[in-house]
Amino acid sequence: MIIKYFDFLGSFPTYRKCPADTRPEYAFIGRSNVGKSSLVNMICNRNKAARVSGTPGKTQLINLFLINNEWLLADLPGYGYARVSKTKRKEFERMIRDYLRFRDNLACTFLLIDIRHKPQPNDLDFMDQLGKMRIPFVLVFTKADKKKPIENEESIAAFREAILERWEEMPQYFITSSNAKMGREELMEFIQQINEELSDQ
């Protein structure tokens, strides 16, 4: 998929404030500092579509982007970042939960996971929440350039083992690196496939 048109629609504090739209929307979420902003920039083929910061937790609103006048990308706040107050963390959790449950045009959620780390409880718990809410999602392993291919395979195997203790099967997943431009084509093909399937309905 070639990005011919790109527009930042705005930042919104709740799903209710997001502009109504019938075009398919794809949400990107993960733990703080998972490399989400860099991945969004890679997908949009822009250097500054999403703000990249060395300080986790900078995304605190629902950021919407319109791509090719065909679909929307939602950059959601990260979860699991401890350096915010409990009150603010609960606000983020409610914002994210309500968005996922009630955003009518949400087509798929991309759950980002840092491939360098062993399975984290909050990633597994968030995956369980998506399952309970019956929200379609896939996994996106990030920062694959930071480790050797064999180490990445070992990390994914560890995640598969942890997931299969709770799920019947491993969700579909992608391996990416924003620095190495790895996985973009596969992600875009996946989005294009869903777009085509929805347009045929």
pLDDT digits (tens, 9 = 90+) for 141-162: 999 999 999 999 999 999 999 9
DSSP 17: G
Decide if 184 is inside a domain. Answer: yes
Closest CA to 174 of 164, 161, 166, 185: 185
Q: How far is CA 133 from CA 117, 124, 126, 130, in A?
A: 26, 14, 11, 5
Q: What strands lie across the sheet with 6-12, from one edge to the other?
A: 6-12, 62-67, 71-75, 25-30, 106-114, 137-142, 173-175
pLDDT at 79: 80
Give the domain CATH number at 178. Answer: 3.40.50.300
Whole-angstrom Cα Rg for the chain: 16
Decide if 1 is inside a domain. Answer: no
pLDDT at 143: 96
Q: Which residues pair with 10 in a beta bridge?
A: 64
pLDDT at 178: 92
Write the pLDDT tens digit of every residue in 47-68: 655 554 444 445 678 999 999 9
- Tell me which residue range forms the domain holding 152: 6-199
Distance CA 107, CA 5 (A): 20
pLDDT at 46: 74
Q: How many domains does the chain have?
A: 1
Distance CA 111, CA 33 (A): 13
**Start-to-end Cα distance in the chain:** 21
- Amino acid letter, residue 195: N
Q: Could you give the count of Cα atoms lying within 13 Å of 84 in the half-sphere of its Cβ? A: 19
Decide if 134 is inside a domain. Answer: yes
